[in-house]
């Protein structure tokens, strides 16, 4: 079953000359897959991720998440849809500084006015090695630990898909491997579909499938 699908996705900027950031991308992600999108800086990979996550609207084309055409939705519908169906992990951890680790993890669920699944959250926190950090504040944590909180937060609401944009960009290579490893391991453990964007081939290679993007176009990929 495909969780994410795009058809003829295009994002152009400016008029003369037109910058074709994304130029006709057809792309499918199956349920439970861990896919990496690899490309150099300026290849259009971050633009693509923003489109996939409904953070930006395309010039042309469509994208479906769990069969729902996201660009047909109004902005406020899309915001709620995003909160319930897409987990984001960015290069900057985007934790709320005045909330502790546990409160940060539960925030998206609280925003939805929902009750957290305590047993599930417990497993997520444990898998990410945060059991002893529950009451710590973000500024007491290392970069790798903060990113692990961000991953836990993304997993907590059991989204249809997690989109990770250079999640190791601010980390040294050791913490980076830790973070990517946990993303991979927890994705497998919780059956979570993940799309990872990176410029680092070593990190990209850890996905089940790698898609290469250049000049806004998909130029190659290897099947699992």
Residue 52 parent element (H or E): helix 45-52
Give the residue with the Cβ less far from another protein, 20 or 209: 209
DSSP label at 208? S
**Whose CA is closest to 157, among 121, 196, 211?**
121
Give the residue with the Cβ less far from another protein, 148 or 153: 148
Query: How many residues can be counted in the chain?
Result: 224
Footprint of another protein on 108-167 (CB under 8 A)? 115, 117, 126-127, 129, 131, 144, 148
Give the residue with the Cβ less far from another protein, 67 or 201: 201
Name which position in 184, 200, 215, 217 contacts another protein (CB under 8 A).
184
**In 10 A of CB 105, how many CB atoms?**
27
* Inter-residue contact 4 to 52 (CB < 8 Å): yes
Give the residue with the Cβ less far from another protein, 22 or 35: 35
Q: Does 80 bind another protein (CB under 8 A)?
A: no
Q: Does 189 bind another protein (CB under 8 A)?
A: yes
* Inter-residue contact 5 to 64 (CB < 8 Å): yes
Q: Does 182 bind another protein (CB under 8 A)?
A: yes
Give the residue with the Cβ less far from another protein, 65 or 125: 125
* Inter-residue contact 157 to 112 (CB < 8 Å): yes
Beta carbon of residue 103, minimum distance to another protein (angstroms, whole number): 21
Sheet architecture: strand order including 86-89: 86-89, 161-165, 194-198, 34-38, 209-214, 217-222
Residue 206 three-state SS: coil
Beta carbon of residue 48, minimum distance to another protein (angstroms, whole number): 20
Residue ranges that bind another protein, judged by CB under 8 A:
115, 117, 126-127, 129, 131, 144, 148, 174-175, 177-178, 181-182, 184-185, 188-189, 201-202, 205-207, 209-210, 222, 224
């Amino acid at each position: 079953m495909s969780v994410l699908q795009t058809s003829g996705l295009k994002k152009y900027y400016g008029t003369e000359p037109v910058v074709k950031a994304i130029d006709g991308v057809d792309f499918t992600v199956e349920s439970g897959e861990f896919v990496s999108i690899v490309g150099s800086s300026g290849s259009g990979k971050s633009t693509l991720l923003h489109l996939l996550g409904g953070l930006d609207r395309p010039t042309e084309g469509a994208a479906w998440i769990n069969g729902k055409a996201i660009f047909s939705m109004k902005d406020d519908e899309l915001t709620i849809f995003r909160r319930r169906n897409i987990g984001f992990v960015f290069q900057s951890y985007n934790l709320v500084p005045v909330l502790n680790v546990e409160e940060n993890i539960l925030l998206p669920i609280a925003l939805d006015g929902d009750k957290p699944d305590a047993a599930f959250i417990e497993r997520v926190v444990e898998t990410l090695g945060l059991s002893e950090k529950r009451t710590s504040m973000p500024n007491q944590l290392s970069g790798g630990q903060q990113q692990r909180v961000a991953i836990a937060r993304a997993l907590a609401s059991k989204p249809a898909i997690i989109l990770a944009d250079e999640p190791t960009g601010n980390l040294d290579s050791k913490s980076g491997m830790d973070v990517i490893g946990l993303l991979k391991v927890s994705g497998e453990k919780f059956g979570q579909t993940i799309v990872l964007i990176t410029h680092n081939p070593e990190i990209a290679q850890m996905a089940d499938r790698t898609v290469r993007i250049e000049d806004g176009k998909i130029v190659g990929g290897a099947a699992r």
